Structure 1
Amino acid sequence: MYRTHTCGELRAANIGQSVTLAGWVQTVRKFGSITFVDLRDRYGLTQLLFGEELNKELADNPLGREFVLQVKGEVSERTAKNPQLATGDIELKVVSFKILNKSATPPFTIQDDTDGGDDLRMKYRYLDLRRQAVKKNLELRYAVNRAARNYLHENNFMDLETPFLIKSTPEGARDFVVPSRMNPGQFYALPQSPQTFKQLLMVSGYDRYYQIVKCFRDEDLRADRQPEFTQIDCEMSFVEQEDILTMFEGMVRHIFKAVKNIDYTEKIQRMTWEEAMWQYGNDKPDIRFGMKILNLKSAFTIGGEKPANGGLINGAGFGVFDDAETVLAICAPGCSEYTRKQTDELTEWVKRPQIGMKGLVYIKYNTDGSLKSSVDKFYSEEKLKAIAEAAGARKGDLILLLAGKEERTRKATSELRLEMGKRLGFRKDNEFKLLWVLDFPLFEYAEEENRWVARHHPFTSPKPSDIEVMIRNNPVIEDADKYLEHPYNHIKANAYDMVLNGNEIGGGSIRIFQRELQEKMFAALGMSQEESLHKFGFLLGAFEYGAPPHGGIAFGFDRLCSILGGSESIRDFIAFPKNNSGRDVMLDAPSTIDDKQLTELSIQLNVKGENA
């Protein structure tokens, strides 16, 4: 037996017991004739005491960091207790030890305050995984996994596996493709999601399905993206939108309680996609704080009526506003005392390429009621006060304004709002706020291609009230400049996203389940009947055999874990992640394959014009 207890198990109640431990040496500290060693395993850390009688043996067999060690001894009370350590009341007086394996000097310190950079730790990920901070992340990931499974099991969902080698049907991100040796010149694709399979399971009568499943997308990466990622993928039959929302509100509440011991009892707010875009500038707003966006220029609102403040900034001779497509403002509470240096720094921040604005206008609503602005010479104090009041500002607040093209300005204002929320301490890692965003557009218009594309995916159903609009109208756009007037531009999807702290953690929809409507959807996306049959004939055929109404949702499992763990990167919660270039630097993958494999696969490479 290598061990009788783990390194995180022993307590004061074990004092006097003879035990055997095994683990990795974290530190060695010599004090004259005695030596202290911290021994670590997955479960924790125990201090070992090597007395004078073992010193000669230690001299002959010195211990180093990350040596694998087995020790036998007696549990005793520590003289200097460590309240920060679960085993801090005891230590093990070693009577014998055995070095099970030696270790080379690690390339970085295996502690929370490691001296290893990202690239180095990724290369030696198997060492990085020994660190307590990384272990806690993976423990949280497992806890989320277990909580989700328990909830879904209790609600009669079945965990059903679906294939990884499927047919390529690219409708968004690029597919990863896999050549078939037995079918030369033909390829499988790795699934971007199990979407069509879970719909087929609904047709098959398995009315509650789930998987915690790997998905694959060949897309550019960032902190919250990986080429392979994990979803909590779910589907239900004989349901409407409200059934889905209720079921998965319950799942998220259950995860919060099981993983974070948080009773999330408050009602989860709902807003339409239009409200989210209008008030927050994006479709996944962080509602932990206010600072909503005010449109000072536009002649329309969500309801189509002119705002009462529509003429506030027009005709003042300030071309930046007068000539702009839109002028948007946010009100930063308590920031009127910002210095010139601080406002200049904000101006430089919005000029960054990621934001893309040419400048920033500010209005200070001082605590004494006076107003100071970077555009004083164009607007009277009376006008500035009217703008400030329209923005909902109070004395002591700072109004920040951006102007330009509608789409870019709205996106930039949204980013500025989030940045100010972060600077002002409104975006706390230990505060969680859930939101449903509903009623997305079913289609987006792709100007370059002069066609409609699906905002979610081509299996999303229109709102019931819009189904006839879709079936009755031709999707062809005769005049590209008039796409806003086309009936398809106003069709709403029976779709929903769950948002947590400004991050989309789940998205889904009620699906199309009638062949006629699905064929109409494919046609709207520019697919010919031949193409739709080639790509999705199996699904269309299935709809001929009594397909039930159904819908579902998929949660970004990695992202949910990272938010609950207080991290901005999902890589911190994946055991073996890829870097920002999609490479596994530990395995050095992707890599070339030899000519024999290429020949077996009937593949001839052409890289940068060179045949290989």
Structure 2
Amino acid sequence: MIYRTHNCGELCIQDVGKTVILSGWIQKIRNLGSLFFIDIRDYFGITQLFFYKKFDNIILRLGKEYLIKIEGKVVKRYSKNYNISTGEIEIIVSKIDILNSSITTPFTIEDKTDGKEEDRMIYRYLDIRRNPIKNNLIIRHNITLEIRNYLSHNGFIEIETPMLINSTPEGARSFVVPSRIHIGKFYALPQSPQLFKQLLMIGGIDKYFQIAKCFRDEDARSDRQIEFTQIDCEMSFVEVDDILIFFERFIKHIFKNINNVQLDTFPCISYYDAIKTYGTSCPDIRFEMLFIELNNLVQKNNISFLKNKELIVGIKTEKFYYTSYDKINSFFKKINNKHFLWIKYLPNKNLIFSNQNFLTKDILKIFLKYFKANPGDFLFISYGKKNKTREFLSKIRLKIANHFNLKNSKIFSPLWIKDIPLLEWEEKKNKYKSVHHPFTSPKEEDIHLLEKNPENIRSKSFDLIINGMEIGSGSIRIHNKKIQNLIFKHLGLSKKEIESKFGFFIKAFEYGTPPHGGIAFGLDRLINILEKNENIKNFIAFPKNNYGKDMMINAPSFLKKEKLKELHLD
């Protein structure tokens, strides 16, 4: 049986006179009494069909999303539609077959649907019929293909690593899989292919990559799924700059070839400078508003109310001058923090206002002068404990950008963050944990700090931030057995635990491990940034919701008692 001679998106004026067969879903039906028009849709596009009254018995039985097969002649279309590729022709139908019927869909299969996200996730297979989702999946395919081609042409080979592994301490919780054969034992799903790609380097592979599925048992959100895809890469005989230079070229290539966007050279700053200047390790540098520390100013001018605060830091914005005061006031109402003050310097030079009574006009002028403020500028100042003060002002900075539309979606501003701390103290567990992962190499000049000041050790790690979102993260790996064991020790692992969890890995270090390093990019996030979208679910064929649940297949679900017994879990 021939289902089609052509698809629904390819016929054009040159095909007039041809007899064709098409198959597809009904998009629209227009009943004009003696004449009927149907728009038929498939993966490739839409074609208008024309029926005479003799088909009225079968036409009246049809509905939207019915799957039909037709045979007919291509003719010029009287009322042309230049919004679709087939808009200059239509098909006079001579034969029609119903291939399958359809009940009424839970939402309209249109580009601008009336479907809520929950309904569209339950009936995801219907949502995929809509152009926005279908085209997103095509975009994802094209980006993935471009990635594979670029890395392959630059000496990387794609290697698959195991999905059923042992659980390793990489920061997040692992999903576990019970073993039926090995009673009481469990596999874990990989949070990343980290150990295996390092073992590949030990195995003599020079450059590896993988479009890898990874799993983390943590809260999902709009920019993260519990099941996600990363572009995983590793290289032998490299240092930090080798990786940054190559993958800056890689990202530039992707943006140029996918979106025709030419990126400038990526600036590079240390983690400590990022925190000091922006209050976050993921700064959005599309707009200014750099942090200015004010402790010295406060001490010098004896501003008593602020004198004993651990940190006083502020930002200046020049954008409010062009903004209505209703919008300004609505913004201020959203800010609720007792360790925060703002200063309005209105266009009239004599008008200066603040939300704190202790700030006299003389004090206000001191701040305005220090910030080199001009009429129309606004100052935002946060004070208190160092970490919380910077964190709060960083949030204010982003709120300002969001509220006053300072984020230009057409601008892409990549930034490398280097020298990230190797370890951080975990209060609840009363021990250190790795900021990246336990296999990240410390900077040689900081290794002596391991015994006395571990939290001050900088690592040979780096993050790629684009428009305030972490897109990639990598490091030079430890290739020395003594240093690796030392890091494990500072993470609170006993010799027995090291042997149990990493014995095979430490053993591999005894066979000439090369210096190596790598990086992993979040594919979902990268696509999201490229397409200026706000929700990665739009670019995943079958995503989970924000609670990690698959609404369509209702996973996770309970197992029957027989299955639990089979797995020795009853």
Q: Same fold (TM over 0.5)?
A: yes
Structure-2 residue corresponding to 1:300: none
Structure-2 residue corresponding to 1:124: 123
Deviation per CA, 1:349-377: give whole Å up to 9, x if none: 233xxxxx336422122223334222574
**CA deviation after TM superposition for structure 1 residue 156, in Å:** 1.1
* Contact 1:25-1:67 at 8 Å conserved across structures: yes
Kindly provide the amino acid, as one letter, of the partner of residue 21 in structure 1.
L
Deviation per CA, 1:174-230: give whole Å up to 9, x if none: 110000011000000000000000000000001110000100000112111211100
Structure-1 residue corresponding to 2:552: 586
C-alpha change, 1:392 and 1:490, in structure 2 (3 Å) is farther
* Contact 1:347-1:360 at 8 Å conserved across structures: no
Structure-1 residue corresponding to 2:420: 440
Kindly provide the amino acid, as one letter, of the partner of residue 391 in structure 2.
K
Structure-1 residue corresponding to 2:289: 291
Kindly provide the amino acid, as one letter, of the partner of residue 25 in structure 2.
W
**In the alignment, does 2:317 pair up with 1:332?**
yes
1:530 to 483, 496, 499: 496
SS of the residue corresponding to residue 99 of structure 2 reads: strand
SS of the residue corresponding to residue 167 of structure 1 reads: coil
Kindly provide the amino acid, as one letter, of the partner of residue 581 in structure 1.
Y
* Contact 1:371-1:381 at 8 Å conserved across structures: no
**In the alignment, does 2:246 pair up with 1:263?**
no
C-alpha change, 1:594 and 1:274, in structure 2 (3 Å) is same
* Equivalent residue pairs, number: 569
Structure-2 residue corresponding to 1:346: 331
* Contact 2:311-2:386 at 8 Å conserved across structures: yes
TM-score, normalized by length of structure 1?
A: 0.89
1:365 to 324, 341, 345: 345
Structure-2 residue corresponding to 1:10: 11
Equivalent pairs: percent with the same residue?
45
Deviation per CA, 1:274-298: give whole Å up to 9, x if none: 111111111111111111122223x
**CA deviation after TM superposition for structure 1 residue 142, in Å:** 1.0
Kindly provide the amino acid, as one letter, of the partner of residue 512 in structure 2.
G
* Contact 1:336-1:365 at 8 Å conserved across structures: no
Structure-1 residue corresponding to 2:38: 37
**CA deviation after TM superposition for structure 1 residue 310, in Å:** 4.9
SS of the residue corresponding to residue 421 of structure 1 reads: helix
2: CA distance, partners of 1:21 / 1:136: 22
* Contact 1:361-1:400 at 8 Å conserved across structures: yes
**CA deviation after TM superposition for structure 1 residue 270, in Å:** 1.0
1: CA distance, partners of 2:391 / 2:227: 28
Kindly provide the amino acid, as one letter, of the partner of residue 586 in structure 1.
M
SS of the residue corresponding to residue 511 of structure 2 reads: coil
> Which of 229-238 and 219-228 deviates more?
219-228
1: CA distance, partners of 2:425 / 2:339: 30
Note the 1:435-584 alignment, pairs <5 A. 435-467=415-447, 469-470=448-449, 473-474=450-451, 486-584=452-550
1: CA distance, partners of 2:47 / 2:415: 44
5+ residue gaps, structure 1, are: 298-306, 352-356, 475-485, 605-612
Structure-2 residue corresponding to 1:248: 247
1:419 to 394, 399, 402: 399
Structure-2 residue corresponding to 1:610: none
**CA deviation after TM superposition for structure 1 residue 382, in Å:** 4.2
Q: RMSD between aligned alpha carbons?
A: 2.0
5+ residue gaps, structure 2, are: none
Deviation per CA, 1:557-611: give whole Å up to 9, x if none: 111111212222211111111111111111111111111111111112xxxxxxx
1: CA distance, partners of 2:313 / 2:321: 18
Deviation per CA, 1:94-122: give whole Å up to 9, x if none: 22221110001001111122111111111
Kindly provide the amino acid, as one letter, of the partner of residue 282 in structure 1.
T
**In the alignment, does 2:158 pair up with 1:159?**
yes
Note the 1:151-190 alignment, pairs <5 A. 151-190=150-189
C-alpha change, 1:270 and 1:107, in structure 2 (3 Å) is same
C-alpha change, 1:423 and 1:86, in structure 2 (3 Å) is farther
Kindly provide the amino acid, as one letter, of the partner of residue 124 in structure 1.
Y
Structure-1 residue corresponding to 2:51: 50
* Contact 1:337-1:366 at 8 Å conserved across structures: no
* Contact 1:495-1:510 at 8 Å conserved across structures: yes
SS of the residue corresponding to residue 335 of structure 2 reads: helix
* Contact 2:170-2:191 at 8 Å conserved across structures: no
SS of the residue corresponding to residue 544 of structure 1 reads: helix
* Contact 1:69-1:99 at 8 Å conserved across structures: yes
Deviation per CA, 1:543-567: give whole Å up to 9, x if none: 0001100000000011111121222
Deviation per CA, 1:105-157: give whole Å up to 9, x if none: 00111112211111111111111111111112111111111111010010111
**CA deviation after TM superposition for structure 1 residue 533, in Å:** 1.2
> Which of 188-197 and 374-383 deviates more?
374-383
* Contact 2:423-2:457 at 8 Å conserved across structures: yes
> Which of 157-166 and 404-413 deviates more?
404-413
Note the 1:296-307 alignment, pairs <5 A. 296-297=294-295
* Contact 1:371-1:384 at 8 Å conserved across structures: no
C-alpha change, 1:119 and 1:397, in structure 2 (3 Å) is same
SS of the residue corresponding to residue 311 of structure 1 reads: helix
**CA deviation after TM superposition for structure 1 residue 57, in Å:** 4.0
* Contact 2:423-2:433 at 8 Å conserved across structures: yes
**CA deviation after TM superposition for structure 1 residue 34, in Å:** 1.5
Kindly provide the amino acid, as one letter, of the partner of residue 483 in structure 2.
L
Structure-2 residue corresponding to 1:607: none
C-alpha change, 1:402 and 1:93, in structure 2 (3 Å) is farther
C-alpha change, 1:310 and 1:6, in structure 2 (3 Å) is farther
